[in-house]
């Protein structure tokens, strides 16, 4: 059975197929409730047979939906739909509703050949920006590869499928099962291939593989099976990209090789560190990576140069040819040490008690102002005065008026560096609903229809009508089919069941009769001859049975004329 035309969760209509992967199909779709175009990812039904996957899928989709960044494809909704397959069996169809992005997958771009180094740097910079944001939010992607990176028609980098790889890998039991679902193992980190726990540095290794492929047109390791490729990630050293593509500079060679270190402690530790080296390499300079010594690994800082006395002390402790003549240190040394420690403790306590708190921020630090409730323009102005760039995301809100700020990320009062991008969520008002068409319905039924979709019945205006029965709706304001905010008021125009009759005396009998039976009145004219007066040419009407004004629909009107 084709998925096209299916409606998910009562609001998402599945459209044409626009992409196909190892674990899902992607369709263009429409959100009927909000009237916007979306991308709908339909996961393979066999994944939903695993209860662990379903639980992990819901949790990870919720985590991904909380992330909002210009370099990340937004996740709007996720769930499962019970459908009937071609064999007539009911199966669970997991789906994800995402932001629709027009562009090309990086996988398709690399398929055409290696990218120019400048273009590769720009793409990888966008990927690392997305990873820096997600890692700060505590989300590890686990499946960074060209098939999950989109380049929009304007050249912006968008990373997708955050959290989904975790849901799949946590429900799979072996490397073979995982690679069968996620696709090729060409982008696995060594720790993934060995089945170890993963962290943010796993994403950075995979990013290094993507950078290698952009520069050379192929991944660093290839094999006949995913297991063979995974083994190479664990045990073999890749060649430098410049060996395959001479256009690659030694600086980019150094960045790629550092990113592909087998030991995660020896590769890049953060996305920001990786991106900084990429930017340095783009200028032609080779980034310098100092190898940590034992002191660095133990204490996190390099060991300073040893003084002469320290060298002598080390020689005394390490040289086995020297013999100690004293079995223990003199007592004066012990007491001197104790006194020195006491003096230091007292000095630190005195300093702490006399320390005056300071509200001054460092020159390069900025405090995020409280922007909730102000307009987007006012928020941008305040942030620009602080040197903080802003980006906008619209979101429906039941409590915040349209055009006003709901929240920011980073939140208010957080201290950030100058130049940190701030995401502003702006209210687009309440959720939009469509006004139902209630024409020719009774007033009670029309009110019930409006309340069913979350709208409020408003004022009632009665109008004369020759054909629509009394208390029947003639129309609404706003009109049926228009889109308004939930909770909005809708006014009614209602038939009074009356028509307006004018004074017909003096008109000819034929003219008066035609006027009454016209479409705009639809009254019933009844001629009534009066023999008491002399007839006149045209038989002018001398009297009408109903006085001028509003009269009931389809009333009989007697027209008296002279017939003597």
Handedness of CA 260, 266, 272, 273 (dihedral sign): negative
**Counting Cβ atoms within 10 Å, is residue 8 exposed (0-12), middle (13-18) or buried (19+)?**
buried
For the chain, the residue count is 564
Per the structure block, which two tokens stand in for 388? 């903080």
* Dist. CA 212–CA 81, nearest whole Å: 40
Cα 83 to chain centroid distance, Å, stands at: 27
60 vs 63, 161, 222, CA distance in Å? 5, 10, 31
Cis peptide before 281 (omega within 30 of 0): no
Element (H, E) at 513: helix 509-516
Cis peptide before 538 (omega within 30 of 0): no
Per the structure block, which two tokens stand in for 424? 């502003």
534 is in an annotated binding site: no
Per the structure block, which two tokens stand in for 165? 């790889």
**Counting Cβ atoms within 10 Å, is residue 352 exposed (0-12), middle (13-18) or buried (19+)?**
exposed
* Dist. CA 68–CA 150, nearest whole Å: 16
* Dist. CA 14–CA 27, nearest whole Å: 6
Cα angle vertex 347, ends 344, 353, to 5°? 140
Question: Is-catalytic flag, 199?
Answer: no
Task: State the SS3 of 412-475.
Answer: CCCEEECCCCEEEEEECCCCEEECCCCCCCEHHHHHHHHHHCCCEEEEEEEECCCCCCCCEEEE
Q: Which of 143, 203, 277, 449 is catalytic?
A: 143
Cα 176 to chain centroid distance, Å, stands at: 32
**Counting Cβ atoms within 10 Å, is residue 125 exposed (0-12), middle (13-18) or buried (19+)?**
middle
Residues annotated within the binding site are: 41
The residues annotated with a catalytic role in the active site are 143
Residues annotated within the binding site for ATP are: 41
């Amino acid at each position: 059975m084709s998925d096209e035309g299916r409606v998910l969760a009562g609001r998402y209509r599945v459209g044409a197929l626009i992409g196909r992967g190892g674990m899902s199909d992607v369709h263009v779709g429409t959100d009927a409730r909000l009237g916007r175009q979306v991308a709908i990812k339909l996961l393979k039904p066999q994944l939903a047979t695993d209860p662990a996957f379903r639980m992990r899928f819901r949790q990870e989709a919720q985590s991904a939906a909380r992330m909002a960044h210009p370099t990340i494809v937004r996740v709007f909704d996720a769930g499962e739909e019970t459908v009937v397959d071609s064999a007539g069996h009911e199966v669970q169809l997991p789906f994800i509703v995402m932001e629709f992005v027009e562009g090309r997958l990086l996988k398709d771009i690399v398929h055409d050949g290696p990218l120019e180094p400048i273009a590769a740097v720009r793409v990888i910079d966008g990927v690392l920006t997305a990873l820096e944001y997600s890692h700060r939010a505590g989300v590890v992607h686990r499946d960074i590869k060209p098939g999950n990176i989109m380049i929009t028609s304007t050249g912006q980098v968008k990373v997708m499928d955050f959290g989904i790889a975790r849901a799949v890998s946590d429900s799979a039991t072996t490397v073979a099962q995982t690679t069968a679902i996620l696709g090729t193992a060409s982008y696995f980190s060594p720790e993934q291939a060995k089945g170890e726990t993963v962290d943010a540095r796993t994403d950075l290794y995979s990013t290094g593989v993507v950078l290698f492929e952009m520069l050379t047109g192929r991944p660093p390791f290839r094999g006949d099976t995913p297991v063979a490729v995974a083994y190479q990630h664990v045990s073999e050293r890749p060649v430098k990209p410049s060996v395959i593509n001479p256009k690659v500079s030694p600086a980019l060679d150094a960045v790629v090789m550092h990113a592909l270190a087998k030991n995660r402690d020896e590769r890049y530790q953060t996305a920001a560190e990786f991106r900084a080296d990429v930017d340095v390499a783009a200028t032609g300079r080779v980034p310098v990576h100092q190898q940590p010594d034992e002191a660095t690994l133990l204490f996190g800082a390099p060991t300073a140069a040893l003084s002469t006395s320290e060298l002598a002390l080390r020689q005394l402790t390490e040289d086995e040819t020297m013999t100690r003549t004293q079995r223990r240190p003199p007592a004066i040394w012990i007491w001197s040490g104790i006194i020195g420690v006491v003096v230091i403790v007292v000095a630190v306590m005195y300093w702490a008690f006399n320390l005056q708190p300071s509200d001054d921020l460092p020159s390069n630090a900025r405090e995020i102002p409280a922007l909730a409730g102000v307009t987007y323009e006012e928020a941008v102005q305040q942030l620009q005065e602080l040197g903080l760039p802003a980006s906008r995301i619209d979101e429906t809100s039941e409590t915040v008026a349209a055009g006003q700020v709901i929240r920011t990320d980073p939140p208010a009062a957080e201290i950030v560096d100058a130049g940190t991008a701030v995401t502003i969520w702006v209210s687009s008002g309440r959720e939009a609903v469509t006004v139902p068409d209630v024409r020719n319905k009774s007033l009670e039924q029309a009110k019930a229809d409006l309340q069913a979709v979350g709208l409020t019945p408003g004022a009632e205006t009665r109008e004369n009508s020759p054909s629509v029965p009394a208390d029947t709706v003639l129309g609404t304001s706003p009109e049926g089919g228009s889109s308004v905010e939930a909770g909005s008021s809708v006014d009614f125009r209602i038939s009074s069941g009356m028509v307006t009759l004018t004074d017909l005396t003096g008109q000819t009998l034929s003219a008066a009769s035609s006027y009454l039976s016209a479409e705009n009145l639809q009254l019933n004219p009844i001629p009534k001859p009066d023999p008491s007066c002399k007839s006149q040419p045209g038989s002018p009407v001398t009297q009408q049975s109903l006085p001028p004004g509003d009269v009931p629909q389809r009333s009989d009107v007697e027209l008296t004329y002279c017939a003597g």
